[in-house]
Structure 1
Amino acid sequence: MEKNHKIRSLSDILDIKKLMNVDKPIETANGLPNQCYTSKEYLEYERDRIFCDKWTVIGVGNSIPNPGDAKPYNLLGIPLMIVRDKDLKIRVFHNVCSHRGFKLLDKPCTLKNVIRCPYHSWSYDFKGNLLATPHIGGLNIHNSDKFNKNQSNLKEVRSKIWMDIIFVNINANEIDFEDYIKPLEDRWSRFINHDDQKLLVHSNDYGSFDLTVKCNWKFAIENYCESYHLPTIHPELNKVSNINDHYHIQGLPNRFAGQGSEKYEQPVKGNKKFDTFNNWEKKSLKNSEYIALFPNVMIGLHIDHFYVFWLEPIGINKTKEHMQMYYIGEKSANGEELKDLRKENARFWKDVMLEDISAIEGMQEGRGSPTYNGGNFSPVMDQPTHQFHKWVANSLI
């Protein structure tokens, strides 16, 4: 019999002492060890301890706007399925038939009345209840006293929608989402409230783009958290919103980090501007904030628009980045008179994200060095990035 190579613990993959060094004060801490960016065995461990244990983003509600809309999602080998039911509620299920384990959904679609398995036609409603079991008792006998349908419903995943972002907690062991998101909502209460959140509308014409990058997902978060790289990676942006105009954001208890700017200028075309949030405090009209909500979503909040930039890990050194843009009200989001302004705003953000690719892919290539010890941090400039490293390390340990 072939020897079992199953990983027994994290210490089989990397040096735990190096991982513990991450949690030291920033002046003496190291970053995460190389294996956290290069080891496929580590990625398997990370999938369970971070992506399954935590509130993880797998998409946005706008991607399935109508009843019956459904799409599959693969979380590092775990097949999931996102469905909007007839009551317009978004539900997430394990994308597998309870009969013989066949994958139910292969591509995005609009279902009519049921989720039907292509293998033996077992069918489920949009709430996951098993409805039909053709020929289960023999030819043309579709029910059986020996089989209880209620015990074979689809397995629903714990999920929550916030600002149209779809969060899941696959292992159902994280704190309630309301408690999880409260520190960020408290911080942003001076900008927006729950009524303002309801005003957000996705832009259908210039509201999304995807980028595939050749690096580990964590590099995108690390880079997003800090403004230290503005002068070198974003020279044009730095002219408008200088590094000196930025401030650090560290959201305790250690669930998010990022940066803010005090020099945001609303996009203008002629005399046209986007509508703005109603409750934004007057003394902060030029503030914008860029939050990485751990593990895998980056959010940009401005007085006149909001974006969701979420990460889909494909492999240890491959990530898909998904950008979704929202505005305040239908006129700003989809009105014809502001179409050119939306186009320009989307182009601006795509250019910024494209500029970051050289940085995050360069860090991935650098992790091939056996002498690299995880790196050091600037005690002044790298505090939010160090916070993310600590969050990962503590989640693993």
Structure 2
Amino acid sequence: MDLINKITNNSSAIDFEKLSNVDRPIEAANGLPNQCYTDDNYLKYEREKIFCDKWTVIGVGSSLPKSGDARPYNLLGIPLLIVRDREHQIRVFHNVCSHRGFKLVDKPCGLKNVIRCPYHSWAYDFSGRLIATPHVGGLNVHESEKFDKAKSNLKEVRSTVWMDMIFVNINSNEIDFEEYIQPLEQRWSKFINKEDQKLINYSNDFGYFNLEVNSNWKFAIENYCESYHLPTIHPELNKVSNINDHYHIQGLPNRFAGQGSKKYQTLTKEDKRFDTFKNWNKEQLQHSEYIALFPNVMIGLHIDHFYIFWLEPLATNKTREHMNMYYIGNESANGDELKELRKQNSKFWKDVMLEDISAIEGMQEGRGSPVYNGGNFSPVMDAPTHQFHKWVASNLSK
């Protein structure tokens, strides 16, 4: 509470009582205060309590297909480096040389043998071990008794990969990822099991797009959690899958929330279809689920495809949204016969996400109102969104 009260907006501290109003029963609750969407000082605090304390998505493994592939990532000012090592495992390091703090990699690339600092040419292997220190003991003297290389390895970040998503826990203080993800895996066991998870393949042709939106990252999650906006924001989608066809998802423990549909139809084009998950519950063939796994990834699970829609917070009022598309088996994901169907599916989801931009940017603009109290929730329609607000508030106050 003391830390929260130190966050200021024009010298006016966030009222902790307003934040606690979020945790009331939904019919009496307010949403997060305006400062949670508009205050740069608040975002710094949120970086620590939300993005560094929790399991946070920073990319996908498919973007680094070969050993030596490397990608930098900036997590609200924290420079990180994602590398696929010699054993083909994803590893994440702080993207900073142990010598003088120079940023090691500034753009995606393929590394041949080492991670080499551009400043003084110190070099690290793909496990982060410092292996070369040119001239450290003087000209052409590359070793020194006064310098222990083993104490200057790269600082590795706790990380794991699940369903191609790269998760990091910067502060190394969250529960084991297997325990963290278990409630969602248990929920989805009626659709896919661990063997099915291995079947998903990234689409190399129509498998990615990104969008930059002028809004706080939280608005994308809030919007994704509910189907209440379908008639107004997605009128065409609402014609085939309207509010009455949707159901709420509230995962316990409080790590995910969202919605499901009972009206999903497998994709077809000229009698061509994608392969489907083999262990899908035969009584729920038309079900699809859209879950926000807190804090920053939204997942769409369908019997014939899977997507990851993850958020890169850029500033208090700016977010980059990354969409990655997957199919079951490589033929569905990359075969020529289904290329047009993949193109059609990618366009469909991009159009849906573009329609949402007006909603989340409109909410961002509205948070400039000094009389807005965080808003209210529909007891019937907004339960998953309220759950996300509670998750944020509870983690800020720990």
Pairwise TM-score range, normalised by the shorter structure: over 0.9
Give the match for residue 264 of structure 1.
264
Matches within 5 A, 1:1-397: 9-13=3-7, 14-397=14-397
Q: TM-score, normalised by structure 2?
A: 0.98
Question: 2:118 is paired with a residue of what secondary structure?
Answer: coil
Report the Cα offset of residue 12 of structure 1.
2.3
Report the Cα offset of residue 339 of structure 1.
0.3
The one-letter code sitting in structure 2 at the alignment partner of 1:140 is N
> Distance between the aligned counterparts of 1:240 and 1:207, measured in 2?
24
Deviation sequence 1:179-230 (CA, Å, 0-9, x none): 0000000000000001000000000000000000000000000000000000
The one-letter code sitting in structure 2 at the alignment partner of 1:195 is E
> Distance between the aligned counterparts of 1:8 and 1:340, measured in 2?
56
Question: 1:29 is paired with a residue of what secondary structure?
Answer: coil
> Distance between the aligned counterparts of 2:366 and 2:251, measured in 1?
29
> Distance between the aligned counterparts of 2:137 and 2:330, measured in 1?
53
> Distance between the aligned counterparts of 1:248 and 1:93, measured in 2?
38
Report the Cα offset of residue 242 of structure 1.
1.1
The one-letter code sitting in structure 2 at the alignment partner of 1:10 is I
Report the Cα offset of residue 8 of structure 1.
7.1
The one-letter code sitting in structure 1 at the alignment partner of 2:226 is E
Q: TM-score, normalised by structure 1?
A: 0.98
Question: 1:147 is paired with a residue of what secondary structure?
Answer: coil
Question: 2:23 is paired with a residue of what secondary structure?
Answer: coil
> Distance between the aligned counterparts of 1:319 and 1:390, measured in 2?
21
Deviation sequence 1:259-309 (CA, Å, 0-9, x none): 000000011101100000010010000000000000000000000000000
> Distance between the aligned counterparts of 1:151 and 1:329, measured in 2?
44
Identity of aligned residues (%): 76
> Distance between the aligned counterparts of 2:385 and 2:370, measured in 1?
22
Report the Cα offset of residue 130 of structure 1.
0.2
Report the Cα offset of residue 146 of structure 1.
1.1
Give the match for residue 11 of structure 2.
none
- How many positions carry a matched residue from both structures? 391
Deviation sequence 1:113-138 (CA, Å, 0-9, x none): 00000000000000000000001111
> Distance between the aligned counterparts of 1:270 and 1:315, measured in 2?
44
Question: 1:22 is paired with a residue of what secondary structure?
Answer: helix
Gaps of 5+ in 2: 8-13
> Distance between the aligned counterparts of 1:341 and 1:241, measured in 2?
20
